[in-house]
């Protein structure tokens, strides 16, 4: 999608489908990742114990489910670009159900998340997992608060780091984003 070369998408479409078909879905919380399936979550978060990378402050199931909802969003776009209407319909329904289930399990009406972490808020904002503009703005304010309290040091692992600054910018927290970007103390 970034290069405009549709052949890349067409060539990789089968592997994308194989990946999605291999995801263990939760029987009780369908259509999200199974809660019985081990997840690393936001591994290597600086606040995570070094000998237990899966014990991140961010719920591993929240991380896995957020990424699944985002991947489904991408599959709707890719299927549409490749003009595969049956898959567009399938992924649209799955995406809407997964997003709704994510909101029910992990968000409050105010826009707070069950995992009160930089990663949880960044993923929810950037992956468009909140249901209203007010929830998004509240989540952005909630994301900025611990960042300022933590002296602008990052407390995300591999899953959350690429999205923190974008989430701050999307929620009108640019001053916090730039201050965090320019921080030189570790971990920054």
pTM above 0.95, yes or no: no
From first to last of the 188 residues of the chain, give the pLDDT tens digit: 567 889 999 999 999 999 988 887 766 656 776 666 667 788 788 888 888 877 788 988 899 999 999 999 999 999 999 999 999 999 999 999 999 999 999 999 999 999 999 999 999 999 999 999 999 999 999 999 989 999 999 999 999 999 999 999 999 999 999 999 999 999 88
- Identify the pLDDT of residue 26: 66
Instruction: Quote the pLDDT of residue 29.
Output: 53
| pLDDT at site 44 | 80
pLDDT of residue 38: 67
N- to C-terminal Cα separation, the chain = 31
Question: What domains are there in the chain, each with its CATH number?
Answer: 6-181 (1.50.10.10)
What does 48-101 look like in DSSP terms, one character per residue?
S-TT-TT--SS-HHHHHHHHHHHHHHHHHHHHHHTT-HHHHHHHHHHHHHHHHH
Nearest CA to 101 out of 39, 34, 166, 16 is that of: 34
């Amino acid at each position: 999608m970034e290069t405009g070369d549709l052949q890349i998408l067409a060539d990789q479409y089968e592997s994308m489908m194989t990946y999605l078909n291999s995801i263990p879905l939760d029987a009780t919380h369908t259509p999200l990742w199974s809660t019985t399936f081990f997840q690393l979550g936001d591994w290597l978060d600086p606040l995570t114990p070094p000998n237990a990378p899966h014990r991140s402050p961010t719920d591993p199931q929240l991380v896995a489910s957020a990424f699944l909802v985002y991947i489904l969003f991408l599959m709707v776009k890719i299927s549409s670009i490749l003009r595969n209407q049956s898959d567009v319909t399938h992924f649209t329904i799955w995406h809407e159900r997964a997003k709704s289930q994510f909101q029910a399990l992990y968000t409050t009406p105010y826009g707070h998340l069950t995992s009160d972490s930089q990663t949880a808020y960044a993923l929810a904002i950037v992956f468009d997992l909140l249901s209203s503009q007010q929830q998004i703005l509240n989540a952005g304010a909630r994301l900025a608060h611990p960042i300022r309290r933590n002296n602008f040091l990052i407390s995300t692992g591999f899953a959350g780091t690429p999205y923190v600054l974008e989430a701050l910018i999307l929620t009108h927290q640019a001053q916090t984003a730039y201050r965090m970007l320019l921080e030189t103390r570790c971990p920054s």
